Structure 1
């Protein structure tokens, strides 16, 4: 019995060795490398008269390669799009003529890849800004309560004089604010009211309307008189959370009656908030500011704040370096319309009695 077991073990060992010896002949799979990669790009509408296309921005890409089973396409730094057809459509969105880098990748069944790229110039028709919000002030009476609220008082006790040493008390009375004959009237008056010698109004869209980027047009006729301080401006909608100047302030129009004819535009932000040395402030001379209407304009983009009067360029703010701590103008802002009286650096004419800022319309245009 033991002899039989011995013979069986010998036979099994021989069989095992035979199987092991056969394993040395297994070969690794052959790597397949794609080759002869081509990329053809057609810009929609491109011809001899429109070299960069018809303005739609659409491009069609076709790729082919020997031994390729799938393809990938990438425009600029965008994510790669893969498919097995070798065809890819894309719509460019940057307005005007811009250069795009289109990369293509060809993959084989074994995962090997080759790539190529092609630069193309594509024209995209600039979008026409659309009117997205406005007040035409065509209904007599109180301003539209769905669009406008009020600051009431003098800012006391926490911020008396609204931080500027102003002397007025703001109200929402028709004595100080009303819509009449197609215009909004903000009326600054000399009168004893709530312990103050002057009254006026300050309207704002906070909590009712704010916006980010676009073109603002305000057609207005300004008050006159030394001591008046009319302003058309915006504040960051997050002012309650971050405070001023971190919220950012855009002064579309400011005028000081003690300096007649000089119209100003400015910005306020963490890096510069009022009276900063070597910081440009836009100023221009308009002698009929209180007798004629003028259109005060802000063009606000991701990279620039541009100020115009009657479509004439005045001033722009476009810093070379922007970050979250110094560039607050990438978040929503709301409107403020007001006429202040007096400030910590100027006095009011003792003979002043009353003056009015009239606003024909305020409009916001955006590219949709």
Structure 2
């Protein structure tokens, strides 16, 4: 009887011993911290409602003038003009950027590219644009942001934020994207998201980016479709600690917009913008 009891006790001691040893080597992984909650102002600090007919407000907008020969790349086919009513005007509370099929300065198309550089430059905030994009193969509409000072170098090292992009051959699919040195299409590491909207070319929709020190998030009609976190590894991933400015433009053709050719029956084509608004980040 005693012999049998000892046989039962020995395994129990071994089991307890193993259990105690396992507990000593167990690594407790701490719970990740709760992400910071950011708040934005409810009234825009900078905006254009486009409620005065004529040319855009010169206190808010300038123009990039010229063509891909200016070093903008993308092999686009248009020539961007300056304050030319045929290519840009405001009517009935809406900004119209119009692309035309015409011979101009050696190019077969004209359009416009508005920029807020040195007139509206921002670090963090909520950026909103209400827009209706044009249909038709060859059209490439965009509302986006570039760095004002290029502190980290030329594209893509100083970054790019695309709040809205749409190419006409991919009907009603809208894109929100960022570009950095480590994440960009030229090295097949593109970071972005898209959403199918049934009436992107026939109705206005609201496109938005929330830019904070910790993340950039993108929304279409208040539905989040994109999140890009600050990995904390430097400017290769996160050059977004400098001021950026708006760009509004309608390009023709190019490496992306022209992938399925250009339908000349689609012209004149218009990117229409109801408003552009910037809301301050309250607790950066």
More divergent stretch after superposition (147-156 vs 235-244): 235-244
Q: Which of 29, 45, 49 is equivalent to 1:132?
A: 45
Check 1:146–1:240 CA distance in 2 against 1; reply closer, same or farther (3 A cut).
Answer: farther
| Alignment correspondent of 1:164 | 74
Q: Paired residues, what number? A: 244
Q: Which of 185, 197, 217 is equivalent to 1:274?
A: 185
Q: Distance in 2 between matches of 1:315 and 1:200?
A: 29
Deviation, structure 1 residue 204: 0.2
Q: CA RMSD in A?
A: 2.1
| Alignment correspondent of 1:261 | 172
Q: Distance in 1 between matches of 2:149 and 2:219?
A: 26
Question: Relative contact order, CA 8 A, sep 6+: which one is greater?
Answer: 2
- Contact 1:142/1:179 (8 A) holds in 2: yes
How do residues 50-199 of structure 1 correspond to structure 2 at under 5 angstroms? 128-156=41-69, 158-159=70-71, 162-172=72-82, 173-199=84-110
Report the TM-score, using the length of structure 1 for normalisation: 0.63
Report the TM-score, using the length of structure 2 for normalisation: 0.80
- Unpaired runs of 5+ residues, structure 1, are 1-93, 97-124
Q: Which of 253, 276, 282 is equivalent to 1:362?
A: 276
Q: Distance in 1 between matches of 2:77 and 2:188?
A: 27
Deviation, structure 1 residue 261: 1.6
Instruction: Compare the two structures and name the one with the higher strand fraction.
Output: 1
CA shift digits 1:190-245 (9 cap, x unpaired)? 11111111000000011111101111111111111100000000001113872111
Deviation, structure 1 residue 281: 1.9
- Contact 2:101/2:109 (8 A) holds in 1: yes
Q: Distance in 2 between matches of 1:227 and 1:197?
A: 13
CA shift digits 1:271-305 (9 cap, x unpaired)? 12225546542011012111100000000110100
- Contact 1:130/1:367 (8 A) holds in 2: no
Check 1:198–1:299 CA distance in 2 against 1; reply closer, same or farther (3 A cut).
Answer: same
- Contact 2:126/2:281 (8 A) holds in 1: no
- Contact 1:339/1:357 (8 A) holds in 2: yes
| Alignment correspondent of 2:137 | 226
| Alignment correspondent of 1:211 | 122
SS in 1 for 2:121: coil
Q: Distance in 2 between matches of 1:357 and 1:149?
A: 17
- Unpaired runs of 5+ residues, structure 2, are 1-34
Q: Distance in 2 between matches of 1:228 and 1:127?
A: 34
Instruction: Compare the two structures and name the one with the higher helix fraction.
Output: 2
More divergent stretch after superposition (185-194 vs 311-320): 311-320
- Contact 2:138/2:263 (8 A) holds in 1: yes
